[in-house]
Every structure is written in structure tokens, then in C-alpha cells.
Amino acid sequence: VPDGAGGWLERPASIALEDQ
């Protein structure tokens, strides 16, 4: 998920875990 959808650049770890 790119930045803007949930803040990928700010916290990639959190978004990655939630996305998967």
C-alpha cells in the first residue's frame, strides 16, 4: 500500500501487517 492510503512511508511495518 503506497503512502496516502494509510501512511505507508510513516509506518510500513504496521500497514504491512494489517494489510496482509
Give residue 4's pLDDT: 63
Question: Could you tell me the pTM of the whole model?
Answer: 0.11
The whole-angstrom separation of Cα 13 and Cα 1 is 11
pLDDT tens for 1-20 read 555 666 666 666 776 666 66
Which residues make Cβ contacts (< 8 Å) with residue 6, sequence separation at least 6? Answer: 15, 18
- Give one DSSP letter per residue of 1-20, joined into a string: --TTTS-TTT-HHHHHHHH-
Give residue 12's pLDDT: 66
Which one, of 14, 13, 15, lies nearest residue 5 by Cα? 15
